[in-house]
Structure 1
Amino acid sequence: MEIKQLKALVTVAEAGSVTRAAELLHLVQPAVTRQIHALEHELGVPLFERTRHGMRLTEAGSSMAERARRVLDELERAQAEIRPTPNHVTGIVTVGLLESTLGILAEPLVKAVTGEHPGIELRVLTAYSGHLRQWLDDGDLDLSLLYNLTNTPSLHVRPLIQEKLWAVAPPAAGLDPRHPIPFEQAAAQPLIVPTAGHGLRILIDRAVARSDVRLTIVTATNSILLQKKLVLAGCGWTILPAAGIADEVGRGLVSAAPLRDPEISRSIVLGAPRTARRSAAVDVVTREIVRQIRSAVRRGNWPSALLDSAEDDRES
């Protein structure tokens, strides 16, 4: 089994055709076909179904392609780490960010890492906490922000901040960040909420159980961006972490206030696999994530967030 065969497998799988894969690999089409056939012969199973609409992975092919991607990614990372670059930390670091934190963290994190450490290639993926945790467990991420998680056998978790959830409404509702509103008041409004199973929805449902109120749900979605867009369009209120709507509140596009009775909050942590060897590049990015979060909280850019007590102790 050769690296070029794995590259051919992954490229054909992603492109959906041998012709397109050959263009991407800068090879002639028969060469790519030979590599796929050689790999199928060695494994003893077909990896693709040839259809009128292109090349479609078989079940065995899907399994092989997933592992081939990881092999190729690890080789690329190893090359980046050991490539001689005087006076620079080098390597590829893949970071997971919660969707609700992108507005506060993504830009300053990327600017800081690329500006101060040009030898590091930073890859940023975003998803819900559950998906990010799965990607950490699968080895697809080096680090990730998660929430409401403690140490597990597979993950080391560093608590960073506690933040409150806010009611978010059109400007005419007149919500004021300085004056928390009862959860019951928000629950009575037409609500755009996360879909069942989403981490934020779980927190909201727990508050419902504690307060014995009923939600007035008009729409459920798996997109925080869509939640905000629907509020901006006047379709109802929503409930989000303060970090996710700080920019819109600052520009007066929405009104928002923390919730009380009960207060709803989440703990944001930084997770990393226990078994993975930590490269110098991963250590650099870890420090930068923590630094950017501390800075955002202390400058007031992360509303109603408090540094975890252990994090405060580390800094002092």
Structure 2
Amino acid sequence: MDVRQLRYFLSVAKCRSFSRAGVELNIAQPALSHHVANLEAELGVKLFERSTKGVTPTECGETLMRHAETILRQVTKAAIDVKITSAQPSGTVSIGLPTSISIGLTVPLLHAVEARYPAITLKIIENHSGFLSEWILAGRLDMGVLFDIDPASPFDLKPLMEEHLYFVAAPGSFIDGRESIELNEISGTPLILTGASHGLRHAIDRHENGIAFDVKTEIDSLVAIKQLVASGYGHSILPWGAIQGECAAGVLHAVRIEKPKIKRKVYLASARGWPRSRAAEIISGLLFEVAGGLVADDRWRGELLKESGI
């Protein structure tokens, strides 16, 4: 199996036709059919169902399509990276951010990239950490911010920080005038939390032993959660970076959770064993620099971690 065979196979699979793929690739149809037949013989499986209307990938063909797309994408990135190694850092870097991190990190990170590395195009994809981890391993993202990851997982991990979570309420609530609240005091208060698939919820649920959390509503939208809390509908548990703007404006009030603290470890993750472009390495370093600045400015609260702290 070689790159040319994979490229030919993928073109046929997407065109659903040997003749259309032959035109797209500028190769005679018999030669194209020969390459695909050799690939099927090498793998010992049938990759296409053939009919008078064209071809359709089999289940094995669909599996190979996913791998072929990833492999060809990496080959293209490798060629680009080699060409630009001695030049100004350039290229496209995709990074996945959970919403609770994206709220505070996206704007300063994009400004930093524009100011210092204008030839790098940064694509930020915001979603649940569960989806982001899948996309990183599939090669759809160069890297992503994930929480509480097992070091034995199939990621290359760079520990970023240990982030504190805060109890959040509307102004005029029972926490007014306080700077902290003990975890057992939260028992029985109506909470608005993200759903079970959210990395934020995982950090909260780890502390549920012995504490009766009263989850009034589950919503996978931090914007809606903050609006509901501000309206007095309930309370929530959120990271400082997601609420510092509203707290500064007096829309929300937040206090530290103590005895015990609710914290989560934040990592920058990439797929283990996959090469990263020079541009991706630069963005990785810049993200750590921007995160340090946010902590220094009290826009993100927690302890910065060193790589040896995994």
Q: Distance in 2 between matches of 1:173 and 1:206?
A: 26
Which residue does the alignment assign to 1:252? 250
Equivalences for residues 116-155 of structure 1 within 5 A: 116-152=116-152, 154-155=154-155
Give unmatched runs, 5+ long, in structure 1: 19-29, 50-55
Say which is worse superposed, 240-249 or 193-202, in terms of deviation: 193-202
Q: Distance in 2 between matches of 1:134 and 1:112?
A: 27
Q: 1:77 to 1:7 in 2, by over 3 A?
A: farther
Which residue does the alignment assign to 1:307? 304
Equivalences for residues 23-172 of structure 1 within 5 A: 31=20, 44-46=46-48, 59=59, 62-83=62-83, 87-152=87-152, 154-172=154-172
Q: Distance in 1 between matches of 2:106 and 2:172?
A: 30
Which residue does the alignment assign to 2:43? none
Letter of the 1:215 partner, please give it.
F
Q: 1:236 to 1:122 in 2, by over 3 A?
A: same
Which residue does the alignment assign to 1:6? 10
Q: 1:109 to 1:177 in 2, by over 3 A?
A: farther
Say which is worse superposed, 85-94 or 289-298, in terms of deviation: 85-94
Contact 2:169 2:252 in 1 (8 A): yes
Cα-Cα RMSD: 3.8
Q: Please report how far the alpha carbon of residue 205 of structure 1 lies from its aligned counterpart in structure 2 after TM superposition.
A: 2.4
Q: 1:76 to 1:170 in 2, by over 3 A?
A: farther
Instruction: State the Cα deviation string for residues 24-69 of structure 1 (Å, max 9, x = none).
Output: xxxxxx9479879978x856555799xxxxxx98745643443343
Letter of the 2:245 partner, please give it.
D
Q: Distance in 1 between matches of 2:48 and 2:171?
A: 59
TM-score, normalised by the number of residues in structure 2: 0.76
Aligned residue pairs: how many?
290
Which residue does the alignment assign to 2:263? 265
Q: Please report how far the alpha carbon of residue 208 of structure 1 lies from its aligned counterpart in structure 2 after TM superposition.
A: 2.2
Contact 1:99 1:127 in 2 (8 A): yes
Instruction: State the Cα deviation string for residues 154-188 of structure 1 (Å, max 9, x = none).
Output: 32322221221111122232646960112233332
Q: Distance in 1 between matches of 2:57 and 2:230?
A: 42
Q: Distance in 1 between matches of 2:24 and 2:175?
A: 62
Contact 1:4 1:35 in 2 (8 A): no
Contact 2:78 2:277 in 1 (8 A): no
Q: 1:31 to 1:176 in 2, by over 3 A?
A: farther
Equivalences for residues 281-300 of structure 1 within 5 A: 281-300=279-298
Q: 1:307 to 1:163 in 2, by over 3 A?
A: same
Contact 1:168 1:256 in 2 (8 A): yes
Q: Distance in 2 between matches of 1:88 and 1:133?
A: 30
Q: Distance in 1 between matches of 2:216 and 2:22?
A: 52
Say which is worse superposed, 85-94 or 163-172, in terms of deviation: 85-94
Whichever of the two has the greater Rg, that structure is 2
Contact 1:150 1:157 in 2 (8 A): no
Say which is worse superposed, 228-237 or 249-258, in terms of deviation: 228-237
Which residue does the alignment assign to 1:219? 217
Contact 2:130 2:197 in 1 (8 A): no
Q: Please report how far the alpha carbon of residue 263 of structure 1 lies from its aligned counterpart in structure 2 after TM superposition.
A: 1.4
